[in-house]
Structure 1
Amino acid sequence: MIKSDDVTSRTPERSSSRNVPLCWQREPNSPTLRVELEDGSMFVFPYIHLAYAVLKSKTEPHEMTVVFATHEVRMEGQQLQKLLLALQKNALESVRFLPSRQQPLAEEDAVWLTTLAVEVNTK
């Protein structure tokens, strides 16, 4: 259970060897997925409304779509299979867009999002 003061005290995870913020957070048994877009918009989706996720990783950048009952979260970037595996375990707590100027500071095998969008599911 998350207490209200826990949310305000939490800081973004950082890469272990460098002081670079990561674009995702992992929390075992998270009840929701929080999505933070480049424009500052934030969405919270309950895992109970998760329909499916699909990852296309044969080409760079990788593409992943996470479909909820009412919305789709679309991502492009590198190492997205880590996000899919966390999502599979209800452990993907949040994803967020970081400025491209921070990408050179990230570790080579880090997850990095080049595109992050939320769309209303029209199906």
Structure 2
Amino acid sequence: MIKFKLLEARKRRKYTQEYMAAALYMDISNYSRRENGQIKINRKEWQRLAEVLTIPLEQIYESDDEGFLKDQTMDNHTFGNNSSQNISELQKSIEKLVLEMDKLKEEIHHLKSRNRY
């Protein structure tokens, strides 16, 4: 499962996967696999990611089993149910995707109409 919170936080900071990989002492392909959910991110890596991004861990953490934080405990940090926050973030992401789709549809329509003449 893609770690959307991590991905968005990294992009907001304008950090590359290469930068993040170096901060975690791994190569880019290993970092990419973690961000894409192909490899699990362990507790220490989650903590290091939060440090590098200078944000609280709960803003980027997503379990491997679910997209939402549900009473997960990591080390001495307990995270409550933040599903309303996650729903809000998902709605924002959906809105962005819908806008992008509309722009692409417009562009396709424009290109098709140009090719007709």
> Does TM, scored on the shorter chain, surpass 0.5?
no
Bigger helix fraction: 2
TM-score w.r.t. the length of structure 2 is 0.27
Bigger strand fraction: 1
Larger radius of gyration: 2
> Which is bigger in relative contact order (C-alpha 8 A, separation at least 6)?
1
TM-score w.r.t. the length of structure 1 is 0.26
